[in-house]
């Protein structure tokens, strides 16, 4: 089965139709378990109970960056292969990514105040995430500002690709510069650096947030496809009505 089958809106609706409900149920269950578990972990010897904020901050930050990467890939596919479903998936992902970026920024600031002694620093990673958040807002604003969907999709897609550098910097800036924000705590290369008491609920919350992302993305993408179909039907009906009026006014 070719992946390009999903580029056909009818196929996309058919193939994703049965996935939406299981994703919502799985996300709901795992989020409930993860939140209760995350709120009941023992206090860290340095961070105290603020360590509990990381169970939402880390998955949100991860999704903020990965959603932008997904949007960039979808926009590139849309621009190169002219599949409008790709553009619609990118459009559907933007508010989700923006919401997770906002959560990452807010929870990071709330954690930073007691731990770093400040709500905000112009650190490379924090600044890149903030600029990425503005790119999310700009992307959604551009889609909303242009009436012609094809043109809106192309221009928003180009804007998305321009902003991908900030998603890259948000992810890797801690490797390039020694800044206040710490590097990755969960790495495969350097062995385990987080105790199981925190690591397991953190992984659980990551999986729960990815499932929530998938449920939201599929729901929103299906919404966009329906709205596009409704618009196409209305335009076709309008053209047909105009054609029949013209034929009545100027009979052959």
Partner 1 sequence: MSALLSDPYLTYVAVAYGATVLVIGLLIALSVRANARSRVELAEAEKEAGSHER
Residues that bind partner 1 (CB under 8 A): 35, 39, 43, 48-50, 52-53, 56-57, 60, 95-96, 99, 102-103, 106-107, 110-111, 113-114, 212, 216, 219-220, 222-224, 226-227, 229-231, 233-234, 236-237, 240-241
User: Could you give the CA distance from residue 154 to residue 193 in angstroms, rounded to a whole number?
Assistant: 44
CB of 178 to partner 1, least distance (A): 26
Which CB sits closer to partner 1, 9 or 78?
Answer: 9
Which CB sits closer to partner 1, 143 or 169?
Answer: 143
Q: Is residue 129 within 8 Å of residue 61, measured between CB atoms?
A: yes
User: Could you give the CA distance from residue 137 to residue 190 in angstroms, rounded to a whole number?
Assistant: 36
CA atoms within 13 A on the CB side of 189: 3
CB of 226 to partner 1, least distance (A): 4
Which CB sits closer to partner 1, 2 or 40?
Answer: 40
Structure tokens at 161: 């690709």
What is the sign of the dihedral through the CA atoms of 247, 250, 251 and 252?
negative
Which CB sits closer to partner 1, 33 or 99?
Answer: 99
Which CB sits closer to partner 1, 80 or 114?
Answer: 114
CB of 149 to partner 1, least distance (A): 15
SS3 helix, strand, coil % of the chain, rounded to 5? Answer: 80, 0, 20
User: Could you give the CA distance from residue 75 to residue 12 in angstroms, rounded to a whole number?
Assistant: 17
CB of 222 to partner 1, least distance (A): 7
CB of 14 to partner 1, least distance (A): 15
CB of 184 to partner 1, least distance (A): 21
Which CB sits closer to partner 1, 9 or 169?
Answer: 9
Q: Is residue 116 within 8 Å of residue 180, measured between CB atoms?
A: yes
User: Could you give the CA distance from residue 202 to residue 211 in angstroms, rounded to a whole number?
Assistant: 14
């Amino acid at each position: 089965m070719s992946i390009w089958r999903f580029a056909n809106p009818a196929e996309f609706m058919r193939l994703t139709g049965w996935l939406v409900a299981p994703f919502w149920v799985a996300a709901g269950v795992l989020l409930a378990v993860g939140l209760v578990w995350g709120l009941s972990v023992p206090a860290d010897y340095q961070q105290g109970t603020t360590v509990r904020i990381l169970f939402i901050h880390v998955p949100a930050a991860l999704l903020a960056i990965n959603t932008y990467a997904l949007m960039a890939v979808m926009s590139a596919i849309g621009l190169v292969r002219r599949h409008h479903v790709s553009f619609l998936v990118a459009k559907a992902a933007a508010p989700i990514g923006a919401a997770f970026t906002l959560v990452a920024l807010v929870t990071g600031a709330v954690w930073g105040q007691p731990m770093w002694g400040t709500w905000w620093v112009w650190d490379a990673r924090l600044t890149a995430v903030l600029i990425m958040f503005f790119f999310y807002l700009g992307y959604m604003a551009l889609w909303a500002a242009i009436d012609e969907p094809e043109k809106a999709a192309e221009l928003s897609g180009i804007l998305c690709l321009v902003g991908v550098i900030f998603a890259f910097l948000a992810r890797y800036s801690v490797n390039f510069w020694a800044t206040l924000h710490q590097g990755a705590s969960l790495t495969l290369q350097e062995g385990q650096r987080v105790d199981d008491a925190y690591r397991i609920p953190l992984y659980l919350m990551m999986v729960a947030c990815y499932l929530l992302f998938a449920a939201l993305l599929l729901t929103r993408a299906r919404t966009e496809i329906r709205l596009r179909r409704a618009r196409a039907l209305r335009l076709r009906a309008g053209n047909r009505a105009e054609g029949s009026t013209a034929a009545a006014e100027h009979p052959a």
